[in-house]
Amino acid sequence: MPTVRHLVVMGVSGSGKSTVARAVNDRLGWSFCEGDAFHPRANIATMSAGRSLVDQDRWPWLRALADWTGERAARGESTVLTCSALRRSYRDVLRQGGPGSFFVHLVGDQRLLLERMQSRRHFMPAGLLQSQLDTLEPLQPDEQGLVCDVSNSPDRIADLVLTELDLG
């Protein structure tokens, strides 16, 4: 039986989580989840109004994502999930759904991230970028993952991820 794996493409808004996750998943064909789709309307309204979420808002959302992963893990399905996963405690919740989760942390220059946010239609306003950067806790040495600079193309990042996981 093949090994079940769970990838979480993480980073602040504008880092290209969805684009990179799709590039990776186009090659793997695993179960795919756009984490933003799991936000309740209240969370989207809060962010759309330019206010940052607080942990009380995030916990149910993170548990729903972990449940999604856990359901697929129980069926023997590997997954690709997008989620900001800004803090270690948030990643700990996600790992509960997919033990051994591998995090692809997308990082980039703040100006580039801001430009990306300003050029797209999304509920997350560019004004919240700084609060996400302030909240961000980088992957720790004991967390399975890979840090990728978003100045690389999504296809190049997908190559790096598959090579790191010995899948490409």
Set out the domains of the chain in order of their start, with CATH numbers. Answer: 6-164 (3.40.50.300)
Pull the structure tokens for residue 162: 């598959």
Residues 135, 98: Cα–Cα separation, whole Å: 23
| Contact assessment for residue 80 and residue 24, using Cβ atoms and an 8 Å cutoff | yes
pLDDT digits (tens, 9 = 90+) for 107-138: 988 787 767 656 656 555 555 667 778 888 99
Q: How many CB atoms lie within 10 A of CB 136?
A: 16
Start-to-end C-alpha separation, the chain: 19
pLDDT digits (tens, 9 = 90+) for 68-87: 999 999 999 999 999 999 99
Query: Hunting for tokens 């950067």 — which residue is that?
Result: 133
> Across residues 141-154, what is the average pLDDT?
94
| DSSP classification of residue 87 | S
Residues 123, 162: Cα–Cα separation, whole Å: 31
| Contact assessment for residue 78 and residue 84, using Cβ atoms and an 8 Å cutoff | no
Q: Quote the pLDDT of residue 129.
A: 66
Q: Quote the pLDDT of residue 118.
A: 61
> Across residues 13-30, what is the average pLDDT?
92
**Helix or strand or coil: residue 16?**
coil
